[in-house]
Amino acid sequence: MMRERIYLDHAATTPISAAARDAYLHAIESDFNPSSLHAEGRAAHALLDDARDRVARALGVPRKNIRFTGGGSESDSLAILGAARSARDRSRRRILVSATEHHAVLHAARALAGEGFEIVVLPVDGEGRLDADAYRRELDERTFLVSIHLANNETGVLQPIPALAALAGAAGALFHTDAVQAARWLDCSLDAFGVDLLSISGHKFGAPKGVGVLAMRGAIALEPLIYGGGQEYGARAGTENVPGIAAFAAALDLAVEQRAEAVRRITAIRESFEARARRAIPGLHINGAAAPRLPNISSFAIPGIESEALLMRLDIDGIAASAGSACTSGVFEPSHVIAAMGLEAALQRGVVRFSFSPDTEARALATAGEILAHAVDRVR
């Protein structure tokens, strides 16, 4: 009898929650253009307004400071490219990012290097924590924007965003954080962190793919990436994805409601999973183990194996996991995140990430741990 598969790649994408599915199906039955003036258009606009209000409450900002986008990568790009291209102060042409940012941030910053901005990539320590001394040294009156993620998508390592944002504010710089991985697990209200811009993506917490949000604490000028109509307060042209946005709001409401219990339960079963893996697999290294982390990500570096071979073996054995960020799936090369943390080259080749949802069961992780140990033995 075939064993039921165990999905442990929730940091890549999550199944759609029942609440999000219901909201989507309700909205799609009357999916008219919210910019139209007739009754059908007004009904669609009412759904859009309701979703914007709910997301704004969850993130602690006025509704006018919410911009719906096509996902986390677009939200990051709009924050960085949109803000920088709107900058009027020519004396501030410096942008600081960490070496372990998602490629959406790193590549957006790289694009600005060709537009006259100086890009400073800040180092991290062996646990993936930002080098605070380097940050203080590089942050100055020339800095326009800082972009540091709240939680790393490969390791789950958390950065001290309130302290970093306060320093940026004192220097007169904007502060953006990519909170895509964190929204399900942490209170992501902008006031809680003191950030100016914050990005999240719905498919990381039970909404359909294709909807993200860029939230702003105040009025920040954003040069649009897409031109056309004046949707999203002029920041993103194109007819809004009302069913997807309605589902996003429903999924975020559920994530907020479940958050405290989910963090408590998943932290406990992750710690048990990691302890079993350490006992069963000699030399196993947990990336970022000594740093504050999200509760739902375990990143292992295993000596003597190649990530691709292990992931294929796990897939055959019924386990869905990944080597790191799904946005680079199919490209098996050492992770820039793990490399920035200084892990020795032999271990970099054997990195595998397991990530969990609030619904992940302890017994499923116990089974996955046994399968992992056997799979490592087979591919070594």
Examine the domain organization and report whether 10 and 73 are in the same domain. Answer: no
- Residue 265, pLDDT > 70, answer yes
pLDDT the model gives residue 334: 79
The structure tokens listed for 369 are 């741990």
CB 11 within 8 A of CB 355: yes
CA–CA distances in Å: residue 16 to residues 212, 247, 266: 15, 9, 19
- Residue 15, pLDDT > 90, answer yes
- The domain boundary, picked from 254, 277, 297, lies at 254
Closest CA to 147 of 92, 108, 111, 114: 108
pLDDT the model gives residue 41: 81
**Lowest-confidence pick of 32-41, 101-110, 307-316, 362-371:** 32-41
Examine the domain organization and report whether 335 and 224 are in the same domain. Answer: no
Closest CA to 288 of 357, 355, 341, 348: 341
End-to-end CA distance of the chain: give it in Å, rounded: 27
Q: Tell me, rounded to whole angstroms, the distance of Cα 17 from its chain centroid.
A: 18
Examine the domain organization and report whether 178 and 319 are in the same domain. Answer: no
Please state, as a whole number, how many other Cβ atoms lie within 10 Å of the Cβ of residue 260: 10
How large is the average pLDDT for residues 78-103?
Answer: 96
pLDDT the model gives residue 186: 98
The structure tokens listed for 120 are 């400073």
Distance in angstroms (rounded) separating the CA atoms of residues 122 and 228: 36
| Identified catalytic residue from 327, 342, 363, 378 | 327
Please state, as a whole number, how many other Cβ atoms lie within 10 Å of the Cβ of residue 86: 12
Examine the domain organization and report whether 232 and 275 are in the same domain. Answer: no
Closest CA to 254 of 101, 359, 100: 359
Q: What percent of the chain has pLDDT over 70?
A: 97
Number of domains in the chain: 2
Please state the length of the chain.
380
Examine the domain organization and report whether 276 and 238 are in the same domain. Answer: no
pLDDT the model gives residue 328: 55
Half-sphere exposure of 165 (CA within 13 A, CB side): 21
Q: Is 327 a catalytic residue?
A: yes
Q: Are strands 174-178 and 212-216 parallel, antiparallel or unpaired?
A: unpaired
Using a 10 angstrom Cβ sphere, with 0-12 exposed, 13-18 middle and 19 or more buried, the burial of residue 13 is middle
Examine the domain organization and report whether 214 and 127 are in the same domain. Answer: yes
CB 110 within 8 A of CB 81: no
Q: Which residues contact residue 270 at a Cβ distance below 8 angstroms, ignoring those fewer than 6 apart? A: 295, 296, 297, 298, 356, 365
- 171-212: pLDDT as tens digits: 999 999 999 999 999 999 999 999 999 999 999 999 999 999
Q: Are strands 143-147 and 94-98 parallel, antiparallel or unpaired?
A: parallel
pLDDT top residue among 324 and 163: 163
Q: Would you place residue 44 in the very low, low, confident or very high pLDDT band (cuts 50, 70, 90)?
A: confident
- The domain boundary, picked from 223, 254, 285, lies at 254
Residue 1, in any domain of the structure: no
Mean pLDDT, rounded, of the chain: 95
pLDDT the model gives residue 327: 53
The structure tokens listed for 306 are 């190649």
Closest CA to 132 of 143, 144, 121, 124: 124
Residue 238 belongs to domain spanning: 18-254
Q: Tell me the CATH number at 314.
A: 3.90.1150.10
Examine the domain organization and report whether 248 and 283 are in the same domain. Answer: no
- The domain boundary, picked from 238, 254, 270, lies at 254
Examine the domain organization and report whether 211 and 264 are in the same domain. Answer: no
The dihedral region occupied by 32, where left means phi > 0, alpha psi between -120 and 50, and beta the remainder, is: beta
Q: Write down the residue that tokens 């064993």 correspond to.
A: 3
pLDDT top residue among 261 and 29: 261
- 282-339: pLDDT as tens digits: 999 999 999 999 999 999 999 999 999 999 999 999 999 999 655 555 556 779 999 9
pLDDT the model gives residue 227: 95
Examine the domain organization and report whether 187 and 317 are in the same domain. Answer: no
Residue 158, in any domain of the structure: yes
Buried b / exposed e over 118-154, threshold 16 CB at 10 Å, is ebbbbebeebbbbeeebbeebbeebbbbbbbbbbbbb
The pTM is what? Answer: 0.95
> Could you give the angle at the alpha carbon of 376 between the alpha carbons of 375 and 379, nearest 5°?
85
Q: What percent of the chain has pLDDT over 90?
A: 89
Examine the domain organization and report whether 287 and 152 are in the same domain. Answer: no
Examine the domain organization and report whether 189 and 135 are in the same domain. Answer: yes
